[in-house]
Chains A and B, each alone.
Chain A
Amino acid sequence: MTPNDMHTEDLPPALAEIVEDFNALPVPERLQLLLQFAEDLPALPERYADHPELMEPVPECQSPVFLVSEVDGAGPGGVVHLFFSAPRESPTTRGFAGILQEGLEGLTTQQVLAVPDDLPNRLALAEAVSLLRLRGMSGMLGRIKRQVREKAAAA
């Protein structure tokens, strides 16, 4: 990954830190960091654990992953909360979910919608997990932004 791909000035602070962390590591350790995100992905609260039908599937991922966003408050200042479900047998997908959860949780609607769509390419993971697999993360980000846009408009 060339330094040109890794820029963070247009990212919210938590995401910028994650991008910098990945880029600072040699390739094998990037996998370990991704695994850490997979392990740290928070469990679903009961309202979703008991009602998986409320969550949206992400078919761009190679394994079954579901996500849902909540928006507290109307307008661009509404606060976004994110919930993910992905099986333990799919650590790569869980890792992607963990990055988005940690990087986007608690941001405003406006901040989430402003996250650049090339975010997955900035994580320096192409050579560690392949570009093909990174597309699953783009699918998650796209769906989060669409949900947040719809929910902000409906609020």
Chain B
Amino acid sequence: MPVPHDPNPKFSDYTHPERLVSTQWLADHLGAEGLVVVESDEDVLLYETGHIPGAVKIDWHLDLNDPVTRDYIDGEQFAKLMSAKGIKRDDTVVIYGDKSNWWAAYALWVFSLFGHPDVRLLDGGRAKWIAEDREITTDVPQPAPTDYPVGQREDAPIRAFKDDVLAHLGKPLIDVRSPQEYTGERTHMPDYPEEGALRGGHIPGAESVPWGRAAAEDGTFKPRPELETIYQQEKGLAPSDDVIAYCRIGERSSHTWFVLTHLLGFQNVRNYDGSWTEWGNAVRVPIVKGEEPGQVPPA
């Protein structure tokens, strides 16, 4: 049974307010039948230092990525993971995490590949919960296994591969990395050289909108009018546009995918998870350096 939505007026401005819950809503609903809280962080140990009572941990790297192929887990592995975490197909899943919900948004996007019906983000994530001095615990729940059905992973609607991006050149692309990565001055985020690439720059035609512009100081999503100003007025995108977002490995662009899809109601947004670690290492793909989106080369 899905749990009621958060009626928070800030959320009701968004196209899909049912995809967000506030810290207060979560505090009020902890323990509700049909609600599972999931923590997903960049730092794999953060959950062990203390988490929201009853929350289970899902690690983007250890749980959601296939251990051999650079891909996500398949339907069978996902069903097994859900069962182990005590999640039923009709449960409401609320995901939260560190770094303004980067990895939480990434986990939500992967849940969406498997079509889990009701998956939401905690607005503000882990930092907001802790800043508000809400309860945390180191007790790890031992959920009873569930009978989660094995389904197909549906990549096509929300996931783009390198060939899709090549075919998409000329249509809207959003590069959500830092300005230095966009211009090609750096091939990696200031603190993340281990996922570097051989070439720097951006995909021809991509507009630069660093992911963090969608987040307020406290890690919550900005109100709708501010988001519209960035993506619709400043960048001229329309909700009917076919848009691909990318970053370095697809986690920051999951955050932007969430904003465009669920908050602004764009109907056709895909996340290119291969992102710069693939494009910047691929042979003979076009690259533009500098501050301008640049020209798409003739086919």
Contacts and interface: CB of A to CB of B under 8 A. Distances in A.
Interface of A: 31-32, 34-35, 38, 59-64, 88-93, 95, 127-130, 132-133, 135-136
Contacts of B59: 130
Interface in B182-202: 190-195
Nearest to B59: A130
Contact of A34 (B45, B61, B190, B193): B45
B50 to A, nearest CB: 10
Interface residues of B, number: 17
B194 A89 contact: no
A130 B193 CA distance: 16
B44 A92 contact: yes
B62 A130 contact: yes
B181 interface: no
17 contacts: A35-B45, A35-B49, A59-B192, A60-B194, A64-B191, A88-B49, A89-B98, A91-B48, A92-B43, A92-B46, A93-B43, A95-B45, A128-B44, A129-B62, A130-B44, A130-B61, A133-B61
B61 A132 contact: yes
Contacts of A127: 62
User: Nearest 9 pairs between A and B by C-beta?
Assistant: A91-B45, A130-B61, A135-B194, A92-B45, A129-B44, A92-B43, A35-B48, A91-B49, A90-B43
Interface in B47-101: 48-49, 59, 61-62, 98
Contacts of A59: 190-193
A91 B194 contact: no
Given A31-B48, A35-B48, A91-B49, A132 B194 contact: yes
Given A59-B193, A135-B194, 16 more contacts: A31-B44, A34-B45, A59-B190, A59-B191, A60-B194, A61-B191, A62-B43, A62-B191, A89-B43, A92-B44, A129-B44, A129-B45, A130-B61, A132-B61, A133-B44, A133-B61
Interface string B24-60: 0000000000000000001111101100000000010
User: What's the dominant secondary structure at chain A's contact region?
Assistant: helix
A136 B61 CA distance: 15
Contacts of B191: 59, 61-64
A62 B46 CA distance: 13
| B46, B193, B194, most chain A CB atoms within 10 A | B194
Contacts of B98: 89
Given A31-B48, A35-B49, A130-B61, A60 B43 contact: no
Nearest to B48: A35
Contacts of A95: 45
Nearest to B130: A89
Contacts of B42: 62
